[in-house]
């Protein structure tokens, strides 16, 4: 048994195999200045969180080797889902109303060596999307229904917070949008390294 252990030890050490050692000894510390056009700092915060959780690099607020420069190029909200409107008798009309939306965010990313100001990676663009549902605040049929007794009842008490106006729904969609975009950016850089 002892001879077989010695054999494997010499076999692995003779072919250059080393356990737990990385040949790339470069320190991959990254600082993240405030992202251009990030109105609330949410994308900046998510980038820092993803870098801090990365195994390929680590976050430093100052004196890092690299700077992750990110600029929001485009932010858009589009209507992607519709439903037919109904009249007061509950019959479908020819009018359609939007009920689903999609927020999109595109950012330009560069990884810059702070000492030499050389661009290590990029510039490249990353896009992320987040979908959301909403109700029309001005539509009586979206906010209420007629029960079997003929009484109009508001649906908001039954919605458990799932029915939101378009503004509230867009705001709720921002967090997953920024999380997804930050993850894509950090994953791209981690794959490069």
Interval 53-66: pLDDT, tens: 988 899 999 999 99
Q: What is the CATH number of the domain that holds 185?
A: 3.30.160.150
Structurally, how many domains does the chain consist of?
Answer: 1
Residue 10 belongs to a domain: no
Residue 118 belongs to a domain: yes
Interval 166-190: pLDDT, tens: 677 788 888 999 999 999 999 999 8
- pLDDT band (50, 70, 90) for residue 20: very low
Task: Residue 168: give the domain boundaries.
Answer: 23-192
DSSP codes, 24-73: -----EEE-PPPBT-TTSHHHHHHHHHHHT-SS-EE-SSS-SEEEEEEEE
Least confident segment among 81-85, 156-160, 172-176: 156-160
């Amino acid at each position: 048994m002892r001879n077989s252990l010695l054999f494997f030890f010499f076999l692995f050490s003779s072919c250059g195999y080393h356990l737990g050692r990385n040949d790339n000894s470069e320190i991959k510390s990254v600082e993240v200045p405030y992202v251009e056009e990030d109105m609330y700092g949410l994308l900046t915060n998510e980038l820092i969180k993803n870098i801090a959780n990365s195994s390929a690099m680590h976050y430093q607020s100052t004196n890092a080797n690299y700077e992750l420069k990110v600029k929001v190029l485009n932010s858009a909200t589009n209507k992607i889902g519709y439903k037919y409107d109904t009249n007061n008798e509950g019959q479908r009309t020819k009018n359609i109303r939007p009920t689903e939306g999609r927020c999109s965010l595109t950012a330009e990313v560069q990884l810059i060596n702070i000492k030499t100001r050389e661009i290590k990676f990029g510039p490249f663009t990353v896009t992320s999307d987040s979908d959301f549902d909403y109700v029309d605040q001005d539509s009586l049929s979206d906010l209420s229904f007629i029960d079997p007794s003929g009484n109009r009842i508001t649906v908001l008490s039954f919605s458990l917070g799932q029915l939101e106006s378009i503004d509230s729904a867009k705001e709720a969609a921002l967090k997953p949008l920024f999380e997804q975009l930050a993850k894509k950016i950090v994953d791209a850089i981690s794959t490069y390294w």
